[in-house]
Copies of this chain bind each other. A is one copy, B any other.
Amino acid sequence: MMKEEKRPLILISNDDGYDVKGINVLVDIAREYGDVVVVAPDGARSGAALSVTFQRVLTVKCVKDEPGLRVYACNGSPCDCVKIGLSEFCDRKPDLVMGGINHGDNSAVNVHYSGTMGVVIEGCLKGIPSIGFSHCSHNMDTDFTPMIPYMRRVIEHVLKKGLPNGVCLNVNAPDVPEYRGMKVCRMGQGVWTKELEARISPRGYRYYWLVGEFKSADKPDDNSDWNGLHEGYVTVTPTKIDITAYEVMEELKKTLPLAPPSMEGSGN
């Protein structure tokens, strides 16, 4: 009993829903290391980013309660789930917050749209070591086996050594049967193009689906997560919550007029 209470507490969420394969695999691994609380969306929330729900109320349903594991389904966003998990369902501050395993790539600029990384950044904002795991396959029955030993390494590293304040990890695995190893990378750069698919409804109005093609802007020898994935590596991208562009502050201070305007320039 005493020993049970000292196990690490791990809070898990995702953006694909509480009952998909990816999160179940992550929960099974997490249970090797600690007690697990899952608060995850009650359905798909891909692309939820760090969105939070202010315009309507949130509800939660307990769908599993067994020794060392409780699972809650929530009608909110991934970030809402973390907030509710921390506030309502964790009896102590978790040692680790994890998002995933996402069914789909969260490397490069995708980190900005990712609900999985929304979970992780929210955990990090709360001062808890946080890791996101994503797999490049969108197949909801994909085989995560090759990824698992790498996940164990990252989890063990973070449980043992923690992470610097304000830094979390974005781990992605390529959709290939065997990996060349793991690589610490920077976030790739590039741009989504052709993002709108327009259609005409049976009733004659125009509507759109969000789609897109990602064009990487990384040079072939750049140590980016996007390149690493395409070379067959599991990539680990350390990610920070302070998004200040410090390097441009001095130039802005010099070139922007900062003093209070004179009355004649004060507009309408």
Contacts and interface: CB of A to CB of B under 8 A. Distances in A.
A145 interface: yes
A266 B239 CA distance: 27
Contacts of A45: 55
Size category, A interface: 35 or more
A31 to B, nearest CB: 12
B236 A184 contact: no
Contact of A127 (B87, B191, B241, B267): B191
Interface stretch (A63-71, A95-103, A243-251): A243-251
Contacts of A52: 47, 49, 113, 210
A130 to B, nearest CB: 12
Contacts of A77: 51
B126 A191 contact: yes
Contacts of A88: 196, 198, 208
A198 B257 CA distance: 47
- In the complex this chain forms, how many copies of it are found? 2
Interface centre among A199, A261, A265 (most CB of B within 10 A): A261
A83 B195 CA distance: 7
Contacts of A127: 191
B84 A196 contact: yes
A240 to B, nearest CB: 4
A249 B244 contact: no
A59 B248 contact: no
Interface of A: 43-55, 57-60, 77, 79-80, 83-84, 87-88, 109, 111-113, 115, 118, 121, 125-127, 145-146, 148-150, 152-154, 157, 161, 163-164, 166-167, 179-184, 186-187, 189, 191-192, 195-196, 198-199, 205-210, 236-249, 252-253, 255-261, 265-268
22 contacts: A46-B54, A47-B53, A47-B54, A48-B51, A51-B113, A59-B205, A60-B206, A83-B196, A84-B208, A111-B243, A125-B192, A145-B268, A146-B266, A148-B268, A153-B256, A163-B248, A167-B245, A182-B258, A186-B244, A187-B244, A189-B242, A238-B245
Given A161-B255, A237-B244, 16 more contacts: A47-B52, A52-B113, A54-B210, A88-B196, A125-B191, A126-B191, A150-B261, A152-B267, A164-B245, A167-B245, A181-B258, A187-B242, A238-B244, A239-B244, A239-B245, A243-B243
